[in-house]
Structure 1
Amino acid sequence: MMSIFTGRHSRAQAIVCAQVILCVLLTARALASEPGLSLEQTRTYALQSDPALVSQRQLEQAFRQDSAASRYWPNPKIALNAQNFPTDSWSFEQEPMTQIQLGISQMLPRGDSLDWQAKKQSLMAGLSHETQSLRMRELRRDVSLLWLEAARAQAAEQLTAEHLQHLQQQAAVLNRRYRNASGLNGSSGPQQQDLLRVELETQRIRERLLNLQQQYQAARQRLNEWLPPALASAPLQLNDEPLFQPSLAFATAMADDQTLAAILMQHPLWAQTDNRIASAAADIELARQEDKAQWGIQASYGYRGEDAMGHDRADFVSLGVSVDLPLFNGERNQRKVAASVRRREAEQTRQQLLLRQLFSAVRNDWAQYQLQQQRLEFYDQTLLPQINRQLQAVKNSYGQDRDDYNDVIRAVMERLNGDIERLNLLREWHKTAIRLEFYAPGFSSELPPVSAAQRQE
């Protein structure tokens, strides 16, 4: 049987509905804690399925094989010659100088060129290894940011969907009361503007929900690039947000340029520049080896047959040494050395620029991290409690006929907006922590998760 609510009974029922909406807002985060795909699982899948890492590992192995191969001398040459055969008879015994000659020759490398070539290939292998380390850091950072964006959109979508559902229920209740109260003279039931305001807020929330769904789908599709097909629709484990907080050692290092520089010099980007500088130095030494003489040794054995009288003839043995004359490569080699020196200086200049960029980036993120942390504390300690007090005051005032229902709806919407803004700020705070982890992963400590009770305070 349908009940007819009028006067204060109508307002009391409206307060009850507003309390239901508030309970939904407070418990939405707890609903998001269902088991799902955690951030660490996503990172693991991404690292296991990244083709770029596989390619760099193969390149590193190739360079190490080249380094080992570079230490070997060039192959010796063997020659078999038939020498001094007479053209009138082509007889092997007719002339004393006729012989079958077997020779071998070996060219020696210039100076220490083989060692420097092997060292350069080893440096290239080290550069590929550092590229792998950099790729792993970048992948962990980028996948974490995608995960955070999708998780934030999913949490906001769940929060908004629950709020929309109960607001629609509230609109249906108000419509029934309005129809019932309109037939009673002197009743103080809901007014038509209350119905219009509830309907307008419902449509606005529908539009916000569609926008959040669009954001979630966009972030999730990019995230699914790194996941197995079976996990393409797995829910995100929202209670496993990135729990990284810069340690005290990192915070202390921010005030000391030398300590911070020592931390940043452990970054793969810095190691890459070190490898490039060392590789350019190897090119200098290789160019200098061109000034060294290249020696060669030869040995041959000449077999001769018997003479026309049947007497044996002595065989011949020949030994020789050869060396090239650096008559035309003096200026050319000097220019090669000068070019290699300039390349090394260019890499050193890039390294100085890189350190400056790393300093700027990490200090900017550190400042943002601190400010975002302060804003979160402000939300939790000041703003959200004040919004709650305002909501409670409006509900009490409405129950005493001092405010209309629009004020209740407005206060409830402010609470929803406050929760979503805090969720957005929490996402940005964790994003900044992830970027700091990219620069100094060894200086991060775990941040204890925030409980649902703490978030509701």
Structure 2
Amino acid sequence: MMSFFTGRHPAAQAIMFALLCWPALSMQAAEPDLSLEQTRSYALQSDPALRSQRQLEQAYRQDSAASRYWPNPKIALNAQNLPTDSWSFEQEPMTQIQLGISQMLPRGDSLGLQAQKQSLMAGLSRENQALRARELRREVSLLWLEAARAQAAEQLTAGHLQHLQQQAAVLNRRYRNASGLNADSGPQQQDLLRVELETQRIRERLLNLQQQYQAARQRLNEWLPDNEAASALTLSDAPAFEPSEVLAGIMADDQALAALLMQHPLLAQAENRVASAAADIELARQENKAQWGIQASYGYRGDDAMGNDRADFVSVGVSVDLPLFNGERNERKVAASVRRREAEQTRQQLLLRQLLSAVRNEWAQYQLQRQRLEFYDQTLLPQISRQQQAVESSYGQDRNDFNDVIRALMERLNGDIERLNLLRELHKTAIRLEFYAPGFSELPPAAPAEPASAAQLSMKFGHGTEQE
């Protein structure tokens, strides 16, 4: 067992290294790299929630078109004033067959307002689609980053294991060829046991990383087609979204940042709900208006008992309801609608404050993570690399203990893994900042807009606090 780790069987070392690295190598050989943007596209194309919101938007637009029609007219056919003694149609002069039609007219502009409200609901569903697209991009991107980080860490660890095995082979040769020393003496055996222990630790670390990768990859594969389930993932240093290009110039300006966030679907949803509440106010006001109706009827009379012709009757009339008992009731309905609009406005303001705080927090984290990454690249990792080279050189000249070589190697591995973890966190923060940024949409073209948009309706009905 000892010779397997100390370089006496190079073929066995090569086989072990190939077995440890086989999952990563096989994935790279099977398929080309799967980019982050491709993963997002697959997820957006297959998301059932987006399809549901599109269907709901179409339903609201159909409801909006249907709301503009008047109610159906009513037709009545009556036999009037039949005598009960003979049931004869010719006996009495007032006996007739009457055909009537009546039509009720909508109150005020209630039909137009109902159509506009349904149009606002369609716009809200549209914003739900945009929000879902952003949330899905963020969710899938974080899964991709987790899987890519685990795969990169696995490859780094496998490379360090190979380097450790090479150092173990050098150690074995040195002690076998050293003159005057017994290969089984205490110091030699201690060094060989130490390298075997560190090798086992790295193997366990590889297994842990493989477990992390498989867990992240299985969650990611839920959004991927079958032919991409084994594609390799490459984590580059440059984030897919560079926040500095979008946010750096406006982060210190509250008004500019608020104007940018007002384009976000969350706030667009809030604006839409405010406009919908304004439409409810106007609908409540329509209850104060009279509802008119028109009626027309034609009465056919038969000949009298002597055979003389009788004239037929035509009737025309109008009706109107008298709002005598709904004055206070409608006032309370209007007041309730006003309060609901004010509540939506307050929620909108609170949401804007939350988004401002979230963006500033993520921006601060992003700046610090960039500084830490630069420190790793420019200072810490170069020093660790120089230290490792110096220790290995000194050991080659018999000036250092082999434990120092192993310690330097492990410091380099830990430094590389920590730098990889920091890179992943930087990418994650950039992805979270992208969630708040404007300028992208994967949604299909919007359906034709109704005559009154959310913004127009909000302007028409007023947007401030109103006392009714």
Counterpart-to-counterpart distance in 1, 2:183 and 2:63: 97
Cα distance 1:162–1:103, how it changes in 2: closer, same or farther (>3 A)? same
Cα distance 1:105–1:62, how it changes in 2: closer, same or farther (>3 A)? same
Match in the other structure for 2:232:
235
Deviates more, 1:167-176 or 1:381-390: 167-176
Counterpart-to-counterpart distance in 2, 1:243 and 1:234: 19
Counterpart-to-counterpart distance in 2, 1:373 and 1:264: 24
Deviates more, 1:427-436 or 1:50-59: 427-436
Deviations 1:77-96 (A, max 9, x none): 00000111111221111111
AA aligned to 2:297 is S
Counterpart-to-counterpart distance in 2, 1:95 and 1:312: 13
> How far is 1:424 from its partner?
0.9
Question: Would you say the 8 A contact 2:175–2:181 is kept in 1?
Answer: no
Deviates more, 1:407-416 or 1:147-156: 407-416
Cα distance 1:239–1:370, how it changes in 2: closer, same or farther (>3 A)? closer
Deviations 1:48-70 (A, max 9, x none): 00000000000000000000100
Match in the other structure for 2:112:
115
Match in the other structure for 2:432:
435
Residue 252 of structure 2 corresponds to residue 255 of structure 1: yes
Question: Would you say the 8 A contact 2:280–2:337 is kept in 1?
Answer: yes
Q: 138, 160, 178: which is aligned to 2:157?
A: 160
Residue 71 of structure 2 corresponds to residue 71 of structure 1: no
Counterpart-to-counterpart distance in 2, 1:259 and 1:370: 20
Secondary structure in 1 aligned to 2:79?
strand
Question: Would you say the 8 A contact 2:260–2:438 is kept in 1?
Answer: no
Residue 134 of structure 2 corresponds to residue 137 of structure 1: yes
Secondary structure in 2 aligned to 1:93?
coil
Secondary structure in 2 aligned to 1:191?
helix
> How far is 1:367 from its partner?
0.8
AA aligned to 1:64 is R
Counterpart-to-counterpart distance in 2, 1:189 and 1:196: 11
Counterpart-to-counterpart distance in 2, 1:222 and 1:240: 23
TM-score, scaled relative to structure 1: 0.86
Question: Would you say the 8 A contact 1:105–1:298 is kept in 2?
Answer: yes
Counterpart-to-counterpart distance in 1, 2:183 and 2:46: 72
> How far is 1:434 from its partner?
1.0
Between Structure 1 and Structure 2, how many residues are aligned?
Answer: 418
Q: 306, 310, 323: which is aligned to 1:309?
A: 306
Deviations 1:106-159 (A, max 9, x none): 001111111111111000000000000000011111111110110000010111
Match in the other structure for 1:279:
276
**Stretches of 4+ moved more than 3 A in 1?**
31-34, 168-190, 237-242
Secondary structure in 1 aligned to 2:263?
coil
Match in the other structure for 2:457:
none
Match in the other structure for 2:216:
219
AA aligned to 1:421 is E
Secondary structure in 2 aligned to 1:81?
strand
AA aligned to 2:157 is T
Match in the other structure for 1:289:
286
Question: Would you say the 8 A contact 1:304–1:313 is kept in 2?
Answer: yes
Counterpart-to-counterpart distance in 2, 1:232 and 1:126: 36
Gaps in structure 1 of 5+ consecutive residues:
1-9, 11-16, 22-27, 444-457
> How far is 1:32 from its partner?
7.5
> How far is 1:178 from its partner?
4.5
Secondary structure in 1 aligned to 2:76?
strand
Cα distance 1:95–1:387, how it changes in 2: closer, same or farther (>3 A)? same
Residue 344 of structure 2 corresponds to residue 347 of structure 1: yes
TM-score, scaled relative to structure 2: 0.84
RMSD: 2.7
Secondary structure in 2 aligned to 1:430?
helix
Counterpart-to-counterpart distance in 2, 1:367 and 1:235: 32
> How far is 1:401 from its partner?
2.0
Deviates more, 1:430-439 or 1:129-138: 430-439
Question: Would you say the 8 A contact 1:92–1:98 is kept in 2?
Answer: yes
Secondary structure in 1 aligned to 2:154?
helix
AA aligned to 1:113 is S
Question: Would you say the 8 A contact 1:181–1:187 is kept in 2?
Answer: no
Secondary structure in 2 aligned to 1:442?
coil
Counterpart-to-counterpart distance in 1, 2:57 and 2:311: 57
Q: 43, 51, 55: which is aligned to 1:54?
A: 51
Match in the other structure for 2:40:
43
Counterpart-to-counterpart distance in 2, 1:352 and 1:296: 45
Residue 99 of structure 2 corresponds to residue 98 of structure 1: no
Counterpart-to-counterpart distance in 2, 1:122 and 1:185: 90
Cα distance 1:248–1:164, how it changes in 2: closer, same or farther (>3 A)? closer
1:315-330 equivalence runs, <5 A: 315-330=312-327
Counterpart-to-counterpart distance in 2, 1:68 and 1:320: 31
Deviations 1:397-437 (A, max 9, x none): 21222211111111111111111111111111111111111
Deviations 1:348-406 (A, max 9, x none): 11111101111001011111111111111111111111111111211222122221111
Residue 242 of structure 2 corresponds to residue 245 of structure 1: yes
> How far is 1:237 from its partner?
3.7
> How far is 1:35 from its partner?
2.7
Match in the other structure for 1:203:
200
Match in the other structure for 1:451:
none
